[in-house]
Every structure is written in C-alpha cells, then in structure tokens.
Amino acid sequence: MTAALLDALRSAVGPAALLTGPAATGGYAHDMMPLAPYGQPLAAVLPADTAQVQACVRACADAAVPIVPRGAGTGLTGAANAVDGCVVLVTTRMNRILELDADNRLAVVEPGVVNQDLRTVAAARGLFYPPDPSSLDTCTLGGNLATNAGGLCCGKYGVTADYVLGLEAVLADGSLLRTGRRTVKGVAGYDLTRLLVGSEGTLGIITRATLALRPLPAAPGTVVAAFDSVEKAGDSVNRVVRAGLIPSLLEIMDATSLRASADYLGTEVPGDGDQALLLCQSDAGGEQGARELELLDSLFRQSGAASTYTTSDPAEGGLLLRARRVSLTALEARGACLTEDVAVPRTRIAELIAGCAGIGDETGLAVAVVGHAGDGNMHPTVLYDQASPDEYTRAREAFDAILALALALGGTITGEHGVGKLKQHWLEREMGPVALRVHRQVKDALDPAGLFNPGSMFARREDGRGRP
C-alpha cells in the first residue's frame, strides 16, 4: 500500500516534488513551537497547482493516510506538525499573484504567496493589504488564512478573515469547493468562507483566495512613551480607547523584552530601563494625523509617562518600531522560548502583564510580554534552558498558567496563532461542551475519515485517527 501511494503521489506532482526519508522530510515535520508534538512523515509533497493538490488528496484518501497541510512553517502552535506516517502537503510552490484588480480593490492569490510580497505589489498600485504578522517577510498567505493571522495593525484594520472575499479549497474527497464572491456585499447561503478561515487545515486545503484590499494610507507618524510602571501604560491604553482614537498601531513591551531587544540590536532602545513602552502610529496623514499624534502624546503624559517622543519621519518611525518587530528573535537569542498568544479585554492588559510577572516568580523563569495593546492580544514568552528537563517542566507549567490567567481575565487562549496541537484541551475549556460538539459535527461532515491534519484543534481519538 505504501509503495502504491508513493507511486500515485509521484505521478501527481513529479519525482522532484516528492520527498521521502527523514533527511528529506525532517525540515517539514514541525513549525517553530518547541512544545508541540510532531511525528515522522511518510513523505512530503510540493504541488504546483490545484489539480495536483486534488490528486494528492485523492491518493491519500484511497490509502487512508493522513494529510497535514503546511506553508512556510512559521506557526507557533504546531498546527502544521506532522503525525507519524502522514503526507505533509507543502503549498509554497503555489506562489502566484493571479490577479490584482485595482478598480475593485481585490487580489486573487495562491496560498504560497509571501505576505510581504502581496503588500509590496499592492502598494505599487496605491493599495494596501493590512494583515501584517511579525513574520510577514517569510510567512505565506495560506498559513495566514489557516490560522486567521493578525499582526501589529489589527486594532485598526482587523485580522485576515476581515479581508477574505472568497476561497477555493480541496475537500477530503478531492472535490473543489468554491466559496464567497468578488462583490463588496453578498450573503447567499452559509458563510463557508469564514468557516474555512482559521480552521487550520482540518476542513479543507485552501488553494486560492480572493482578498480585499484598501487604499494605501498615508506614511505613518510615530509616538513612543516610556513608563515607570505597567499600570500607567495600561491606563494610557484605556485613555486612548475612551478618547475614541483608533491608531493604526499600538504596541506594548515590558522591561524584559525591551532589554532583550536593546541587547540584540546593540543600540539604545527607547524605554530601556523603564517598566513598559508604548509604541503608537497614526496613518491618518496631514493635519488630522498631526492632531492625532499630539493627542496621543497628551494622553500618555496624563497617565504619567516618564518620557515621550514623536516623529513624523517614516524612516525614523520604522527604526523606533524595529525594537518591537525583533522582540521574539531577540528573546530567542537568550535561549529557548515558549511564546503564548492570548487576548484579554484592553482594560485588563496591565493585570495580564503583572500576572505573567508573578507566574515567572512562581516558576523561577523569566516571562517577557509584548503585544498588540490596540486589541488586547498579548504574547507572553517564557524563557528557559532547553537542556534542563526541570526548566522545561516549569516552562510548561508557566505556559498553562498564562492560559488560565487569560481566561480568568475574560480573555481567550489565542488571538491570532491558532490552537494547533498545543491547546486542544484549552479550546474545550474556553468553548464549553455544546460549542465543542458543534465543532466536531462540522469536522465529521467535511472530513468523515479524519484524515485532514489529525490532532490539530481536537485531540486524536484513541484509535489514532484524526477524527475528533
């Protein structure tokens, strides 16, 4: 059966696009989350088009072999991690921007297109694709769609789902599902587009997406504010919300992440030595943008900012923002990291950061926090020694404690990274039994054999199959 399956896959994608053996498939076995379990795939396939994806899915269905879809592997929940004996279906070769319709402000793309590449092509036409994960220069749109990725500008512009007009996806029987539309409005039937976005490859394999674009905003102005307490920074966020301001970016960094970024960049970072830093941008442009920056600066000072700095120079603003964009890389330079992705009401950001510091004290590990203060999506990161089994155990304890804290504060276990193979039991705890039952029924309807990404979102059954 294995030989027949490999022959069928080879016929579908060509010999060069079929990889077998641990040496060839090892790089496709897991994403960037060290905690998430992964297995040894039977093979990895790299299809070049939708027809090849369909052929691979049908071959695996006939052989009852699981398929794990994968993009660039930048995920942080193990959602693209292999299970033993599976076929990893890698979409990075499907990397064409098929259409960019400036008049209707939309793009039609394949899943292997890199996020930054679409943004660059759109900008050349005076258009803007807002979702911007920190890995935007390497992550692919297929992965963004599968996890409903966000980014630094979500507070104003929303997440990936807010820009998806329609999809094409290969279902578990190899048939091709087309959802959505190209029009601005359209409410015919169930919203299958939204159902697929964020489903982590458990319901279908996305092979094409029609994405909405926006007019390119003005170059942003930037204001940064340093605070001698996290509580004052949190109060600033509350003041921004109450004032009705919606900055294009509002990020927060705690003292640990500030120090790590300063060391990594080898330069001074605003706020280094303080307890928290807010980085804020306005892309309103012109007099309106200038007034918004002035008001933001005033609100930060009213909250007790130790210092503030404002610039209208986009290049200087980019340099100031660099400390935030490299924060995870900077923390990884200090050792192994477990990066969380929780979201809480914006009024409770300070409580979350303080709670994470307490969890760090209890476990004896450093916990750094950066996040999107504009929408309450925080990324606590636990630092530990990968060579120490004891520290690894304590890191896992800290990881779970942070999830519990987020739920206790009225939040959610994931704001943009997804559930993956890491948070299945926490998903059940957050949703409750009725919602989980409905999820299982949807999964069973679209993937009755449980072959699409088994173990992601739902724990695998005792018989080892992926069906929840």
- CA distance linking residue 22 with residue 85, whole number of Å: 11
User: What pLDDT shows up at residue 335?
Assistant: 83
- Please state the rounded mean pLDDT for residues 383-387: 92
| CATH topology identical between 218-326 and 335-418 | yes
User: What pLDDT shows up at residue 464?
Assistant: 46
User: What pLDDT shows up at residue 336?
Assistant: 85
Q: In this structure, which topology does domain 97-215 adopt according to CATH?
A: 3.30.465
pLDDT in tens, 103-133: 999 999 999 999 999 999 999 999 999 999 9
User: What pLDDT shows up at residue 467?
Assistant: 44
Distance of CA 222 to the CA centre of its chain: 24
User: 225 is written with which tokens?
Assistant: 């504010």
The closest alpha carbon to 414, from 321, 344, 350, 316, belongs to: 344
E strands in 21-116: 43-45, 67-70, 87-90, 97-101, 106-109
pLDDT exceeds 90 at position 204: yes
User: What pLDDT shows up at residue 337?
Assistant: 86
Domain map of the chain by residue range? 2-90, 97-215, 218-326, 335-418, 432-468
For 411, half-sphere exposure in the C-beta direction (CA atoms, 13 angstrom radius) is: 28
pLDDT exceeds 50 at position 248: yes
Specify burial of residue 176 (Cβ count, 10 A radius: 0-12, 13-18, 19+): middle
pLDDT in tens, 8-18: 999 999 999 99
- Angstrom CA distances, 314 to 36, 98, 298, 453, stand at 39, 31, 21, 42
pLDDT in tens, 274-287: 899 999 999 999 99
- 218-326: CATH class: alpha beta
pLDDT exceeds 90 at position 466: no
> Pairing mode, if any, of strands 176-180 and 164-170?
antiparallel
pLDDT exceeds 90 at position 338: no
pLDDT exceeds 50 at position 372: yes
pLDDT exceeds 80 at position 257: yes
Instruction: Give percent above pLDDT 90 in the chain.
Output: 85
User: What pLDDT shows up at residue 281?
Assistant: 96
pLDDT in tens, 31-83: 988 778 899 999 999 999 999 999 999 999 999 999 999 999 999 899 999 99
Instruction: Give percent above pLDDT 70 in the chain.
Output: 98
Mention every residue, 6+ apart, whose C-beta is less than 8 A from residue 335: 383, 384, 385, 386
pLDDT exceeds 60 at position 2: yes
Please state which of the four CATH numbers 3.40.50.300, 3.30.43.10, 1.10.390.10, 3.40.1080.10 is assigned to the domain occupying 2-90.
3.30.43.10
Confidence category of residue 463, pLDDT binned at 50, 70, 90: very low
The closest alpha carbon to 341, from 426, 219, 261, belongs to: 426
**Side chain identity at 396, as an amino acid letter?**
R
The average confidence (pLDDT) of the chain is 93
Confidence category of residue 151, pLDDT binned at 50, 70, 90: confident
User: What pLDDT shows up at residue 340?
Assistant: 87
CB 389, CB 397: distance < 8 Å: no
Which residues are paired to 274 by β-bridges?
272
Measured distance between the N- and C-terminal CA atoms of the chain, rounded to whole angstroms:
25
| Planar angle of CA 274, 255, 76, nearest 5 degrees | 155
pLDDT exceeds 50 at position 462: no
- 335-418: CATH class: alpha beta
User: What pLDDT shows up at residue 1?
Assistant: 67
User: What pLDDT shows up at residue 199?
Assistant: 97
